[in-house]
Amino acid sequence: MGIVVQKYGGSSVADAAGIKRVAQRIVATRKLGHDVVVVVSAMGDTTDDLIDLANEVSPLPPARELDMLLTAGERISMAVLAMAIQSLGHEARSFTGSQAGVITDAEHGRAKIIDVTPGRIRAAIDEGAIAIVAGFQGVSQTTKDITTLGRGGSDTTAVALAVALKADVCEIYSDVDGIFTADPRIEPRARKVPRISYEETLEMAAQGAKILHLRCVEYARRYDMPIHVRSSFSDKEGTWVVKAEDVRQEDSSMEAAIITGVAHDRSQAKITVVGVPDKPGEAAALFRAVADAQINIDMIVQNVSAAATGLTDISFTLPRGEGQTAMTALDRIKEAVGFDSLQYDDSVGKVSIVGAGMSSAPGISARFFEALSEAGVNIEMISTSEIRVSVVVAETQVQDAVNAAHAAFDLGSDEIEAVVYGGTGR
Amino acid sequence: MGIVVQKYGGSSVADAAGIKRVAQRIVATRKLGHDVVVVVSAMGDTTDDLIDLANEVSPLPPARELDMLLTAGERISMAVLAMAIQSLGHEARSFTGSQAGVITDAEHGRAKIIDVTPGRIRAAIDEGAIAIVAGFQGVSQTTKDITTLGRGGSDTTAVALAVALKADVCEIYSDVDGIFTADPRIEPRARKVPRISYEETLEMAAQGAKILHLRCVEYARRYDMPIHVRSSFSDKEGTWVVKAEDVRQEDSSMEAAIITGVAHDRSQAKITVVGVPDKPGEAAALFRAVADAQINIDMIVQNVSAAATGLTDISFTLPRGEGQTAMTALDRIKEAVGFDSLQYDDSVGKVSIVGAGMSSAPGISARFFEALSEAGVNIEMISTSEIRVSVVVAETQVQDAVNAAHAAFDLGSDEIEAVVYGGTGR
């Protein structure tokens, strides 16, 4: 049997009872004959508690020291998990990111993995031990300082180790049963997807579905590492994230679904710049100002200019947390660009349909927009990609929009599956 | 100016306020022009909390994983302390024991330092930074696993780093003002000793005075590193632990004190083996049995054998926590050795007078025993060394014995110094 890499998030190891439960699951996998490598996040709220402590002594904790501090969280969970496994009679050894050979650049707080040299992990599993690795952390190749990988870091650690160890699969455990056709909290008929392509998963994640972090899916896609997303609270099969060919192959016997799922995102805001002179370079000046403020914008819509005035309106969406900064940056260039005013709206939401079958099926956008119209949902902005159509709507209409899209593309199951749906850890 | 190594125990960094206070003290030392290297213990009860967590998942936590777990404590305190110093405008960098070059053997939980290679610490201070080092921990030379040094580990880390860096002094901070002529909690006239030799400090510590751990004093003595024991809660000069010549030199103008201090110890028990056949090899068999049970015995007294019976009684003291094990081990060889019975007494205490001047001054023991007699204290056992006389008395008479000895050798000050007296951290 081959190597299985399993990643458990903070909610799965929130307390001693959770750690014991996870330990039993790991031992069960070991007993099937697999070599098991486990990546673990910090227990429950540990990371937040450590950040609070840092803020008590420093208004702006230095990044190097914050990384040193936060990595204590995984150190605790991995050691305790190794103890719990050993008390079940199986050899287990914990390793820090550095010991596991997770080599990164020196960007504290958002380091990128540049190499994985898991010699000690391989030695441990060759000796029959279960290896427990701290997620979210590594060591800088240049400074030898401890680094953290930022959001989604533990998922990325797991996939990177799985690739380096040539594992059969990377299992990502959370408190969710898998990837669903929509968020079950707002769409009771949401159905678990058995298989989904890396590309669709990336689009779903980018459009707000709280499944897997983009980085980890991109890493898995690049090296073609299958990810099995499943719940640590049940034994159910979860969702397999694989390459598109493998999804098609599996689905060949039945008619392939055109749409895989509906994602929604309530974390964005919309800024409209009113009365922009419709001359070359004006839009560029606006977006340069926003980019210089380190803000990631998402969708952009420019109205057709009114011939009489020679003025146009430009709207774009961005993360709500960055709204204030963007408004300040734009206000600073108001006179230079010569626009009339700024409007800020944080009561918007984005709803997207995602599906690899979309590119070969005409009329998808039309069916989506008709469904929204019939549900009385007003579309404020539209953007599309090869395998996705997104709309911005009023936040109060997000749920209606998701339900309408889900029904229009027959995504629902006949019975309502009982699931817990939460955010992914780090 | 040279290098100053400062060690702060867990009670000095129990919370964010404590860490800020310590940060200010460190910065003040830096402003005097010294290069500063700080060794820090885990915050307050962190270590106990982590041990509790380990016990929740494992009845007997494996030593390697326990070390991995416990070292998270110093990781937290050192990172937060570095942050607090940086927020005061001074560069500070934290280092794990491994990063600081603390190389140990592979004995988890009680590793010995076998080398210190502080290249990264020297680089940090050469660049003008304050280096913060995790106490109590190192890395095994052979297995590359993280180790802990056991009790007194942080003090030992500090002295070892001071030696490796050729520091001017190793300052050990706690919540006590220094080393006293007796425990001020039971001897209100106890006086802080300005200077004391390594040898006297070792005897005081071995006889129960909760000052410094034996290991750290032995290390300092071997490499002649001056230790300055002082309080992190005051700016008072503390006690300098130095070589005997330096104590004498300093005290040459006044009449040297014969006795430096009175130590007491309430942690011991006494076992008496009654009716041992007075033949060669019987005592050896008894103590071999106790030694095989890994028990450290302290004082031994053998009565003169009664000629009529050819039987003798042998008494010895040992740590109370090991009483049960020793009694079981002895009971197992009762028939083989042929003794009558075992008596166990854990209501004993040990009181010792310590002083380098003792060896050249006759009549010290006599004066000590007379003082005890006048105070109505009954002596159960006696042992002596070059610079120490110890007696075992009933636990209820420990305080009377300390007070009597303190007065008999004129150790008291005229005024009562206000001090806090607590245990040393790890």
User: Could you list the pLDDT tens digit for every one of the 426 residues in chain A?
Assistant: 799 999 999 999 999 999 999 999 999 999 999 999 999 999 999 999 999 999 999 999 999 999 999 999 999 999 999 999 999 999 999 999 999 999 999 999 999 999 999 999 999 999 999 999 999 999 999 999 999 998 789 999 999 999 999 999 999 998 889 999 999 889 999 999 999 999 999 998 888 877 788 899 999 999 999 999 999 988 899 999 999 888 876 655 445 568 899 999 999 999 999 999 888 788 888 888 888 888 888 888 887 766 677 888 899 999 998 999 999 999 999 998 889 999 999 999 999 999 988 877 778 898 999 999 999 999 999 988 888 999 999 999 999 999 999 999 989 865 555 444 444 434
Q: Is the pLDDT of residue B252 over 80?
A: no
Rg of chain A over CA atoms, in angstroms? 23
If we measure between CA atoms, which residue out of B96, B101, B224 comes closest to residue B159?
A: B224
Distance of alpha carbon B224 from alpha carbon B229, whole angstroms: 15
Q: What is the pLDDT of residue B206?
A: 84
- CA B158 to chain A, closest CA, distance in angstroms equals 20
Q: Give residue B423's pLDDT band: very low, low, confident or very high (50, 70, 90).
A: very low
pLDDT digits (tens, 9 = 90+) for A84-137: 999 999 999 999 999 999 999 999 999 999 999 999 999 999 999 999 999 999
Average pLDDT score over residue span B297-307 = 77
Q: What's the N-to-C CA distance of chain A in angstroms?
A: 29
Q: Cβ–Cβ of B69/A58 closer than 8 Å? A: no
Least confidently predicted of A16-25, A304-313, B200-209, B276-285: A304-313
Q: Which domains does chain A have, with CATH numbers?
A: 3-251 (3.40.1160.10)
Distance of alpha carbon A272 from alpha carbon B120, whole angstroms: 52
Amino acid in position B282: E
Identify any residues that bridge with B6 across adjacent strands, giving them in sequence order. Answer: B38, B171
pTM, rounded to two decimals: 0.85
Residue for token pair 């330092």:
B113
More confident residue, A283 or B75: B75
Q: Give residue B165's pLDDT band: very low, low, confident or very high (50, 70, 90).
A: very high
Q: Which two tokens stand for residue A48?
A: 């937040």
Distance of alpha carbon B407 from alpha carbon A164, whole angstroms: 72
Interface contact A206, partner B, CB < 8 A: no
Q: How many CB atoms lie within 10 A of CB B237?
A: 12
Q: What is the pLDDT of residue A251?
A: 57
Distance of alpha carbon B352 from alpha carbon B348, whole angstroms: 13
Interface contact B196, partner A, CB < 8 A: no
Q: Is A119 strand, coil or helix?
A: helix
If we measure between CA atoms, which residue out of B5, B418, B422 comes closest to residue B176?
A: B422
Average pLDDT score over residue span B280-298 = 85
Q: How many CB atoms lie within 10 A of CB B296?
A: 9
Q: What is the pLDDT of residue A245?
A: 86
Q: Which two tokens stand for residue B357?
A: 């001047």
Q: Cβ–Cβ of B99/A53 closer than 8 Å? A: no
More confident residue, B282 or B381: B381
Rounded percentage of chain B residues whose pLDDT exceeds 90: 70
Q: Cβ–Cβ of A65/B83 closer than 8 Å? A: yes
> Could you give the ipTM of this predicted complex?
0.82
B260 is in an annotated binding site: no
Phi and psi at residue A180, in whole multiples of 5°? Answer: -110, 160
Of B53, B75, B92, the CB nearest to A16: B53
Interface contact B285, partner A, CB < 8 A: no
Q: What is the pLDDT of residue A420?
A: 41
How distant is the alpha carbon of residue B377 from its chain centre? 27
DSSP state of B110: S
Interface contact B142, partner A, CB < 8 A: no
**Strand ranges for A278-399 from DSSP E:** 300-302, 311-319, 341-345, 348-354, 381-385, 388-394
Residues making up chain B, counted from first to last: 426
Q: Is A327 strand, coil or helix?
A: helix
If we measure between CA atoms, which residue out of B1, B3, B19 comes closest to residue B11?
A: B19
Q: State which residue of chain A sits closest to B90, comparing Cα positions.
A: A62
